[in-house]
Structure 1
Amino acid sequence: MLKERPLGIMLIGYFYILGAVVLIITLFTNASEQFGIAVRFGVPNVPENIMRVLVAIISLIVSYGYLKLKKWGYWFMIINSLYFLVVSIGLALQYNQQPFIGNGIWSIIVLIYTLSKRNFFNNKNVTVCHS
Structure 2
Amino acid sequence: MNRSRPLGVGLIGSFYIFGSVVLLLSLFVYELPFEKYGIAARFALPEVPEHLARFLVGASSLVMAYGYLKLKRWGYWFMVVYSIYFLSVSGYLFVLYKDQPFLGNIIWSLIVIVYSYSKRSHFYMKPQQIRAGG
TM-score, structure 1 normalization: 0.91
Judged with a 3 Å threshold, the aligned counterparts in structure 2 of structure 1 residues 93 and 126 are, in CA distance, closer, same or farther, namely farther
Show structure 1 runs of 4+ deviating over 6 A: none
CA distance in 1, matches of 2:50, 2:108: 22
Across the aligned residues of Structure 1 and Structure 2, the Cα RMSD in angstroms comes to: 1.5
CA distance in 2, matches of 1:64, 1:86: 24
Give aligned-pair identity as a percent: 54
Displacement of 1:28 in angstroms is: 1.1
Deviations 1:78-130 (A, max 9, x none): 00000000000000000001100000100000000000000000324459xxx
CA distance in 2, matches of 1:101, 1:27: 25
- Contiguous gaps of at least 5 residues in structure 1: none
Superposed counterparts of 1:4-15, under 5 Å: 4-15=4-15
2:72 counterpart of 1:99: no
- Contiguous gaps of at least 5 residues in structure 2: none
Displacement of 1:77 in angstroms is: 0.4
What's the secondary structure of 1:42's corresponding residue?
Answer: coil
2:54 counterpart of 1:52: yes
Displacement of 1:4 in angstroms is: 1.7
1:118 match: 120
Report the number of matched residues. 127
Amino acid at match of 1:70: K
Higher helix share: 2
2:20 match: 20
Instruction: Give the alignment partner of residue 34 of structure 1, picking from 27, 36, 61.
Output: 36
TM-score, structure 2 normalization: 0.89
Q: Conserved in 2, the CA contact under 8 Å of 1:5 and 1:126? A: no
Amino acid at match of 1:31: L
